[in-house]
Structure 1
């Protein structure tokens, strides 16, 4: 009988069950991390990790007094975690009861996309009306690190107010491009390579040539607001789409950035306009 049980433990079925078990545990931990991401619980988890490492080190180096102190504290750690993480645990249980726990990641991604589009569209609309020149390049698969290094590092949360403020004339960072990397403003005042194509219209200035230049060597999406006319253009894959209205602009950027179109819940610029007009 022991031999038979031993064979069962190493059967393909048992191996498959073990793999599924490990994947499920990993998935649960992943979901828990996504829930507490961006909350104070992240910092508390770092503190707990430090305590665990310290406890291991006390055994390695024979620090008996410190080990005794930690042994008095750690047994009540589970209760402390429940108390400390009470808001996050309550939120997770509420989402589980509503059946939203596993859909949360997709919902968060959609909310973040809408927020980014609203911030960029609002800032572009503002600058276009006032003929404030702007150049915004969004990194996709091809890295833009070498161009980020030519500017002033920011690593900032994207808001329409910040983007507008960067391009206000006569401010230190208005001349050059803003580069967005991983949904954050990586740097401002960056230098982009100018296109050397002989087919570019003579009426296009340096901003448009730089936007075309970066689109010829990377897959970045670049947004241009003309200082002379206030016209909005977008370059991608060596092509330029000129004189876009706000609806066309948002649809184009959303399609090439997120691979989606403007739907009933994604018309951020029109929501903003309605709020502005009361």
Structure 2
């Protein structure tokens, strides 16, 4: 294919597509590591690379050999260090495939109104429970996952596997309940587990008023495809975490729309 000749530079349509794909990949990586400790790790790796280049140029044989051995296992080290980011990247790619993006059209073809009615039926008890817990300032963390990962949740949760109901959610998060300390995980139209201890986010840019409940909700949304609803025990404010980002002071109307879209 004939390209465009700019004296010393020839750019073909394939090169343009190549550049756009690389730019898209960089953007995805940026969205994944923004406001996380991964940024500091990348900066550290960049500094080590510069140091390696400097000692090699100065012919410091001992340091060059040591750093060279370290660099030789760089790919394996990258996989280990950035395993959470790689997992999130693959989830992000999966959620943005053609079929996922166009599932609304399938809904229109195969009974979208019926799907919406079913969504409202399962979301209503959750909204009602959130209203009650906001009023009483009962702290809560409710995590919604599309695919329940037994290995991820089984080791730190109490199995429930019960129908979603307002009273059950209120009972779980009631202050003196043995299951209140932790998260509830909802999947497959059921409360799958409760009292889940989740990994905290590494993000060090969060507001100071965010406690362990908020950090756990944000953390699980970083590491999986989950979304989390967090109710503050101090203020009763409702927050919504998705893909490591948190929306604060969410109204019940907004919460209903978000859950209907994501859950």
**1: distance between equivalents of 2:139 and 2:150?**
22
**2: distance between equivalents of 1:171 and 1:243?**
26
Judge conservation of contact 1:142–1:219 (CA < 8 Å) in 2.
no
Judge conservation of contact 2:144–2:227 (CA < 8 Å) in 1.
yes
What is the CA distance between 1:124 and its match in structure 2? 0.5
Q: What is the total number of aligned residue pairs between the two structures?
A: 155
- Against the structure 1 CA distance between its residues 104 and 165, is the aligned structure 2 distance closer, same or farther, given a 3 Å change threshold? farther
Judge conservation of contact 1:148–1:186 (CA < 8 Å) in 2.
no
Residue number in structure 1 paired with 2:176: 170
Among 183, 187, 190, the alignment partner of 1:184 is: 190
Q: Please, what TM-score do these two structures have when normalized by structure 1?
A: 0.53
What is the CA distance between 1:142 and its match in structure 2? 7.2
What is the CA distance between 1:171 and its match in structure 2? 0.8
Gaps of 5+ in 2: 1-108
User: What SS does structure 1 have at the residue aligned with 2:250?
Assistant: coil
Residue number in structure 2 paired with 1:24: none
Among 128, 134, 137, the alignment partner of 1:122 is: 128
Is structure 2 residue 223 aligned with structure 1 residue 224? no
What is the CA distance between 1:190 and its match in structure 2? 0.5
Judge conservation of contact 2:172–2:179 (CA < 8 Å) in 1.
yes
**What is the RMSD computed on CA atoms of the aligned residues?**
1.9
User: What SS does structure 2 have at the residue aligned with 1:156?
Assistant: strand
Residue number in structure 1 paired with 2:210: 204
What is the CA distance between 1:111 and its match in structure 2? 3.0
- Structure 1 or 2, whichever has the larger Rg, is 1
Q: Please, what TM-score do these two structures have when normalized by structure 2?
A: 0.55
Among 139, 146, 163, the alignment partner of 1:133 is: 139
Q: Equivalences for 1:216-255 in 2 at 5 Å?
A: 216-255=222-261
**2: distance between equivalents of 1:113 and 1:145?**
27
Q: Summarize deviations over 1:38-77 as a string: whole Å, max 9, x none.
A: xxxxxxxxxxxxxxxxxxxxxxxxxxxxxxxxxxxxxxxx
What is the CA distance between 1:110 and its match in structure 2? 3.2
Structure 1 stretches of 4+ moved >6 Å: none
What is the CA distance between 1:170 and its match in structure 2? 1.2
Residue number in structure 2 paired with 1:69: none
**2: distance between equivalents of 1:149 and 1:106?**
37
